[in-house]
Structure 1
Amino acid sequence: MPSYYVNKNAQDNGDHEVHQVDVCPTPADEKNRLYLGNFSGCQGAVREAKKHYLKANGCANCSPACHTS
């Protein structure tokens, strides 16, 4: 199963982007990552990220199925 992390730094719109480890062409700096775990898809990773940040969203590049804004 793929591994995911959320960027600790919010985007301009307030979203914290969820990225797939070792897949994303636009990864967050390692110091700005909060590891979320292994999930069968980005939906579970975004749900986990929302436990830490109210506004979480999939990365348009590596988690497009969960990119909503």
Structure 2
Amino acid sequence: MSLFYVDKNAQDNGDHEIHTATCSHSPNLNNCDVLGYHTACSTALDAAKKIYPQSNGCYYCSYSSYTSESK
């Protein structure tokens, strides 16, 4: 089970990325909303989409929920 966050700042394509607490590509925690502990990034992504409908997994830490064409 991992602690997940969603970036408050959208990427250039409009996606708000989800990250695990240990991701080295995670933004400053002041720029994130806590999503809580999840057993899979898919459930963290579902939680993120309740806040930001256009959310996506991080290429590096949530790859199974990553759907964007650009890194």
Shift of 1:30: 1.4
Are residues 1:63 and 2:62 paired?
A: yes
* Secondary structure of the corresponding residue to residue 30 of structure 2: helix
- Superposed counterparts of 1:1-69, under 5 Å: 1-22=1-22, 24-69=23-68
**Percentage identity across paired residues of the two chains:** 46
Unaligned runs of 5+ in 2: none
Shift of 1:50: 0.3
Two-structure CA RMSD over aligned residues (Å): 0.6
Unaligned runs of 5+ in 1: none
Amino acid at match of 2:2: P
Deviations 1:44-65 (A, max 9, x none): 0000000000100000000000
Write the distance in 2 (CA, Å) between the matches of 1:30 and 1:21.
Answer: 9
Shift of 1:38: 0.6
- The count of aligned residue pairs is 68
What TM-score does the superposition give when structure 2 sets the normalisation length? 0.93
* Secondary structure of the corresponding residue to residue 43 of structure 1: helix
